[in-house]
Amino acid sequence: MKKIMICCTFLSLLFCVGLFGKEEIDDLAMVMAVGVDKAENGEIWVTAQVVRPADARGDAGVGGTEGDPIWTATGEGKTIFEAIRNLARFSSRRIYWGHNAIIVISEEVARDGIVDVIDFFTRNNELRMRTWIVVTEKKANEVVAVKTGLEVIPGRSLDRLFRYSPIVAEAPRTDVMSLSASYIGEHVHPYLAMVRLRSRGVDPENPKEFGSIPQIELSGIAVFRDDQMVGRLNPRESRGFLWFVEDVGNAIIPLSCPDEEGPVSVELRDNRFQLTPNYKNGKVSFIATVETVTDLVELGCPTELEHSEVMEDLESDVAAYIKKDIEVMLEKVQKEFKVDAIKLGRAFQAKYPQYWNDLKDDWDEIFPEIEVKVNVKVELNNPQLLENPTRKGKD
Amino acid sequence: MKSQISNAMLLAIIINIVYAKAIGVTQGIIARQAGGDMWIVTIFSTLFGLLIMSLTVLIIKRTPEKNILEQTKLLVGKWGEKLIALLMFTFFLGAYGGIMITVVYHLMDYFLPEVPTYIFVALVTIVGVYGIMKGVEVIARLAVLGVFSIIVLNILLLLGSLDYFEIESFLPVLRNGFFNAVEVTKHHNADWAMATLMVAIILPMVKQKEKWMKYSTKALILGGGFILMWPILEVGVLSPEVAGQYIVACMQMARSAEIGLFVHRYELIMVIFFAISALIQVMMCLLCASISAKHIIGGNNLNFLLIPVAVILGVFGYWVVNDHIRAMDLLTYYWPRVAMPITFAVPIIVFLLGFIFKKKLTKGNLDAPS
């Protein structure tokens, strides 16, 4: 027995001849954001935002040597993999995807089809499945190269933009996993958040030039048929869309004062959404029910009404506003895009599996004609800190 | 073997021998064939496992000092014993291929793609042989540690995935039909068969025979529960389509889990905590194959057979995993056809033989050396 054990021990030593596949951290070029564009000659153009560790130390980048915390470079190729490999022609380190926070696809690429993007980034074992993936209406390389947000590394800023996006509720939190699931899934179609560059940052050295520094902001939803983008929803339509696909966060509803001029803001707090399919006489219909508890967060008119009266009046305005969000979205998705990205088919299949087999092959034709009735119930009962509306105390 | 382990250790071994393969590779295959019903398939299969396990314990209880092969010898002579031993060796040889798929693809595809396949197979097999040489008690103690690892892994994965859980993905229930769900259980049944056939061999080594049934049943229920969490999360978080897209579905699940900003990418956590279960699978498979080989050859010394059996299983395992397409084809289409008849036939045949040749199980015969 002992002899065999000694043999086993020595046999194991034979395999300890070095560390196979080892990667030293200072040999890696850590990609924080990547952009996918199409070059004029039709080739894929991949732009990688790579962190420069020596210049990106600490929360504020303090302690690093003088220099940019990121290095952005592009590679071109017939395929995504070739384009990335071509980055290695001039990158002094091996490109490493493990810390990539976001993939930005240009609208041009999205309209041509993104099956190669889905395949490459789900097949790659380095990439996280919770990497955000978005579409931008112009060039993705511009978005990837821009310095945006508070973080030292712009890729981190983009990551956090999506982590806290529910507070604006104007774009979905789409990641590689959700894209893959909706592309592979039967009778659902993908959608991705859209971002754009807007001059929103203020230059502290020249504050007169208000909003002169481009920043990345959420700008709606790109809707796909299979892997090809068919259209986009604006932020308001996107909010209507979000009710169907994910939790709507603390969105703000801008309204007008009930009896006089002035702005009012209502914040959604506790939201519930229910989609009820119906099937009668061979006709499919849905009832979408929204129930929301909201807070009054701004009342910009010195009204003589009591809070309770104002809020009672506002409840119906909020309900109408939310209903309008959903209806304009449905009009666009059903009549213009004709793509079931809002998962009505899935909801119908869940409730009526016995009828689904008869309808599923014709679902694309049925979907645009489906009647969706929207019911919104709003409860507005929290004026926050104030007992009375803000009004002047003088006669 | 005269080693004695407790019933709690047996429970731990049963849970470990099924867990590692059942949560990932098996669930991927089930997802491809049963879609959103994969969690129901897992429940059905656990019930089948419970049934076969109870039958196996009943069989061994008839001759508590003898394993199923020795009992067969008692009932129908040495050629019957050799036939059953050959069937069981074939089963554990095939099972070793499945285990190698689990171990190698977890490590190679997700961490070390540049390392040659034979390194994984050889190292795992050598560790397996080393474990057997240390004895069943040591393996059993390791298995107890493995159960704690499994619990930790399940809790971590649950915490990292619940945010993305969608209950709608479970509807409609039994979307591909009841009979399809029952048919697809064959893949998970083959996992439970590793436990039942192993119990058929090692149960005489377990103390307190009056508790055998209680603990083996408990092991099935607990192990089934630990495994069931995975298809439930794979349906609710990944979606059945995505789970079915990958060879190792559980690693995809781990790759998608995260807690806040700083704890993400569970692949390493996953491998750390499921490694013990994978090693227990390797060790017990090697041990049971060696015992089966001993009964085929008719020798007395198990130690001389360990290395040759490890080489046979290792070479077969390497041949299986060296080609991903071949590996998955074998596991998906051919392995159930081999495993299912053995899984059900061996205990049922021996049970019926016990009925027919009841007289041979008399006290005098039982006391005779096997």
Residues of B in contact with A10 (CB under 8 A): none
Q: From first to last of its 395 residues, what are the pLDDT tens digits of chain A?
A: 677 667 767 766 666 655 666 778 888 888 888 999 998 888 899 998 888 877 666 555 455 555 678 888 888 889 988 888 888 888 888 888 888 888 999 999 999 999 998 998 888 888 888 889 999 988 888 888 877 777 777 777 778 777 776 666 777 888 898 899 889 888 889 999 998 877 777 777 776 666 677 777 788 899 999 899 999 998 888 889 988 988 887 888 888 887 777 888 888 888 899 999 999 988 999 999 999 888 888 877 777 767 777 777 888 888 898 999 899 999 999 989 999 988 899 999 989 988 988 888 888 889 999 999 999 998 887 767 776 766 666 65
**Which of chain B's residues have a Cβ under 8 Å away from the Cβ of A246?**
none
Residues of A whose CB is below 8 A from B304: none
A128 touches chain B (CB under 8 A): yes
Tell me how long chain A is.
395
Residue of B nearest to A186 (CA): B241
Phi, psi dihedral angles at A393 (to 5 degrees): -95, 0
Contacts of B119 in chain A (CB under 8 A): 15, 20
User: Looking at the domain assignment, is residue B366 inside a domain?
Assistant: no
Residue B356 counted as domain residue: yes
Cα B122 from Cα A16, distance rounded (Å): 12
- Report yes or no: B269 at the A interface, CB cutoff 8 Å: no
The CA-based angle B111-B113-B118, given to 5 degrees, is 110
* B281: closest CA of chain A, how far (Å): 19
Of chain B residues 44-73, which have a CB less than 8 A from chain A?
A: none
What tokens appear for A33 in the block? 């954001």
**Residues of chain B neighbouring A347 (CB-CB closer than 8 A):** 168
Chain A residue numbers with beta carbons less than 8 Å from the beta carbon of B258 are: 130
Closest CA to A153 of A27, A84, A50: A50
User: Does A128 contact B265 at a Cβ distance shorter than 8 Å?
Assistant: yes
Between CA A384 and CA A213 the distance in angstroms is 35
Of residues B91, B93, B164, the one with CA closest to residue B319 = B93
Per-residue model confidence as pLDDT tens digits over B132-176: 988 889 999 999 999 999 999 999 989 888 888 888 888 888 888
Q: State whether residue A6 sits within 8 Å of chain B by CB.
A: no
Chain A contact for B172 (CB, 8 A cutoff): yes
Which domain, by its residues, includes B164? Answer: 7-361
B 308-367 near A (Cβ less than 8 A): none
Is residue B160 situated within a structural domain?
A: yes
Residue B304 sits at the chain A interface (C-beta within 8 Å) = no
A115 touches chain B (CB under 8 A): no
Helix, strand, or coil (residue A269): strand
Q: Residues 6 or more apart from B128 whose CB is under 8 A from it?
A: B279, B282, B283, B285, B286, B310
Nearest-CA residue of chain B relative to A131?
B256
Whether residue B369 lies inside any domain: the answer is no
C-alpha–C-alpha distance, residues A246 and A265, integer Å: 23
DSSP bridge partners of A372 = A286
From A15, A125, A177, residue closest to B256, measured CB to CB: A177
Cα dihedral B341/B344/B348/B349 (nearest 10): 20
User: Does residue B233 lie in a domain region?
Assistant: yes
- B113 and A130: CB-CB below 8 Å? no
Question: Is the CB of residue A253 less than 8 Å from the CB of residue A259?
Answer: no
Determine, for residues B242 and A130 on separate chains, whether the beta-carbon distance falls below 8 Å.
Answer: no
B367 within domain boundaries: no
Among B255, B249, B279, B253, smallest CA distance to B267 is for: B255
- Write the pLDDT tens digit of every residue in B244-269: 888 888 888 888 888 877 777 788 88
Contacts of B255 in chain A (CB under 8 A): 128-129
Q: Is residue B2 part of a domain?
A: no
Mutate which of A100, A133, A163, A177 to disrupt the B interface (most B C-beta within 10 Å)? A177
Rounded to 5 degrees, what are φ and ψ at A32?
Answer: -105, -25
Establish if B250 touches chain A: CB-CB under 8 angstroms: no
Q: Which single residue is written with the structure tokens 């016995």?
A: A354
Domains and CATH numbers, chain A: 25-233 (no CATH), 251-386 (3.30.300.210)
With CA atoms as reference, report the closest residue to B25 among B97, B111, B117, B126.
B97
CATH number at B153 reads: 1.20.1740.10
Q: Which residues, 6 or more positions from A207, have their beta carbon under 8 angstroms from its beta carbon?
A: none
Question: Is A90 within 8 Å of chain B by CB?
Answer: no
CB–CB contacts below 8 A, A to B: 76
In chain B, how many domains are there?
Answer: 1
Q: Is A349 on the interface with B (CB under 8 A)?
A: yes
| Domain assignment present for B1 | no
> Rounded to whole angstroms, how far apart are CA atoms B351 and B347?
6
Q: Say whether B239 and A129 touch across the interface (CB within 8 A).
A: no
Stretches in chain B below the pLDDT threshold 50: none
Q: Which of B7, B209, B182, B27 is nearest to B102 (CA)?
A: B27
Torsion of CA B361, B362, B364, B370, to 10 degrees: 10
Q: What is the pLDDT of residue B192?
A: 92
Q: Cα(B291)–Cα(B86) distance, rounded to whole angstroms?
A: 11
Instruction: Using CA coordinates, name the residue in chain A closest to B172.
Output: A350
Cβ pair B133:A5 closer than 8 A: yes
Alpha-carbon distance of B57 to B4, in angstroms, equals 17
Q: What is the pLDDT of residue B148?
A: 94
Interchain CB distance below 8 Å, B239 and A181: yes
Tokens of B317: 């395992």
Reported ipTM exceeds the 0.95 cut: no
Nearest Cα of chain B lies from the Cα of A239 at a distance, in angstroms, of 20
Give the three-state DSSP class for B144: helix
Predicted pLDDT at A394? 61
Closest-CA distance, A372 to chain B, in angstroms, reads: 19
Which pLDDT score is estimated for A135?
Answer: 92
**Interchain pair B133, A8: CB under 8 A:** yes
**Cβ B119–A20 below 8 Å, yes or no?**
yes
List A residues 156-175 in contact with B (Cβ-Cβ < 8 A).
163
